[in-house]
Amino acid sequence: MGTLYVISPNDDLSDRLKLMTENFIKNFHSIKYIKNLTHSLDLKNKKLLFLLELDVNGFDLPMLTFLKKLKLNDKNAFENSIGTLLINSNSELGTKRAAQDVIFISNNLGCKFLGHPIIEATKSLKNFLNWQKNLNIPLEEICLKLSYDLGKRLSEYEKPILLTEHKKKITVLYSSTHKFSNTLDLWHMISKHLNNFIIKEIHIENGKILDCKGCSYKLCLHYGKQNKCFYGGFMVDNVIPAIEEADGIVLLCPNYNDAIAANLTAVINRITVLYNKMSFHNKSMFGIIVSGNSGSDSVAKQLIGALNINKGFMLPAHAIITETANNPKAIFKIENITSKAENFAKRLINGV
């Protein structure tokens, strides 16, 4: 069962979050609570639980302060560790954004995250209503059950051991044109170091992917079992099979108005049909983000929210590379860009 390290710098935890934690930690024989940063603190190669108690503005300031101090002390403070989060809010807002913030910061410090790494409790617990349709128990009990289940998944997690020499598969999704894309240029610098992978690049052109129709869960599940979707077409024939077969996916995301490109957003929405058929917990996600000015972190957090938190892809350590390059080919002028690309390739190799 191992040792769990509970990162909880906030001294003002609610009774609800304490109960969630009690259920989570039942899966571990040894618990160590981390309240402050000390010189002897070692959070590498650990299983981690972050506890977030959000204030009236939707922030856990003690947690953010702790992570700030940790980053100033060691930029690889969570290397080879794997994390999960329990979050409580005294409103209906803030839980997803707070999770994205902490995951983004911690991932850049070397922490990987399970797919579906969070249990979030809003004030009313209405976010568990869909669970209640199947479990038919009170919302409070659902919250505690899911907290226990997440703890069980973390306690049972072991880094996969490659038993065969087969080449792993990566599916790359992008919507940019080749001629002017700094994002594609960066990907090509990275991909030349990935010789031992089978890489499938899929260009999501304008008009090829219609956004999700919003079918009922039962109808979506019905289509998914047949490897189909209401719309059919390019998504069903090309994208869904490529994601299903892949060990990891890479999204190339030039920053459009601080958001993921509409074509790629449509893809993320449409893979719900596959999500209803299979788990993505054993698939890894990566992002390559290039901004003309600022806002790469906004796009990165959207990727984390959509693919890691919602769809359940594993988030390996340092899974998202961000750069700023405005004019065509400006990516090549960034200092140390070739070594950055090679280092990201190594992270991708280790993370798939």
User: pLDDT per residue over 320-344, tens digit each?
Assistant: 999 999 999 999 999 999 999 999 9
- Check residue 26 and give its pLDDT: 98
- Check residue 233 and give its pLDDT: 83
- Check residue 47 and give its pLDDT: 98
Contacts of 222 (CB under 8 A, 6+ apart): none
- Check residue 180 and give its pLDDT: 81
Mean pLDDT of 9-18: 98
SS3 at position 305: helix
Domains 3-156 and 168-351 share a fold: yes
Contacts of 133 (CB under 8 A, 6+ apart): none
Name the band, by pLDDT with cuts 50, 70 and 90, for residue 4: very high
Q: What homologous superfamily is domain 3-156 in, according to CATH?
A: Flavodoxin domain (3.40.50.360)
Classify residue 88 as left (phi > 0), alpha (psi -120 to 50) or beta. beta
> Domain limits of the chain?
3-156, 168-351
- Check residue 225 and give its pLDDT: 65
Query: Can you say whether the dihedral through the CA atoms of 285, 264, 305, 141 is positive or negative?
Result: negative
Q: Are 352 and 319 in contact (CB under 8 A)?
A: no
Residue 216: is its pLDDT beyond 80?
no
**pLDDT digits 0-9 by tens, 226-278:** 666 766 788 889 999 999 999 999 999 999 899 999 999 999 999 988 998 89
User: What class has domain 168-351?
Assistant: alpha beta
Mean pLDDT of 162-184: 84
**pLDDT digits 0-9 by tens, 23-57:** 999 999 999 999 999 989 999 999 999 999 999 99
Mean pLDDT of 147-153: 99
Report which DSSP code applies to 175. -
Contacts of 188 (CB under 8 A, 6+ apart): none
Q: Which amino acid is at 325?
A: A
Q: Which two tokens stand for residue 31?
A: 């618990």
Residue 164: is its pLDDT beyond 90?
no
The angle at the Cα of 156, spanning 5 to 130, to the nearest 5 degrees, equals 95
Report which DSSP code applies to 11. S
Classify residue 115 as left (phi > 0), alpha (psi -120 to 50) or beta. beta
Share of the chain above pLDDT 90, in %: 84
SS3 at position 215: coil
- Check residue 1 and give its pLDDT: 64
Residue 163: is its pLDDT beyond 70?
no
Mean pLDDT of 60-68: 98
Residue 165: is its pLDDT beyond 70?
no
Residue 99 or residue 2, greater confidence: 99
**pLDDT digits 0-9 by tens, 291-322:** 999 999 999 999 999 999 999 999 999 999 99
Q: Are 244 and 274 in contact (CB under 8 A)?
A: yes
Q: Provide the mean pLDDT of the chain.
A: 93
Mean pLDDT of 192-210: 88
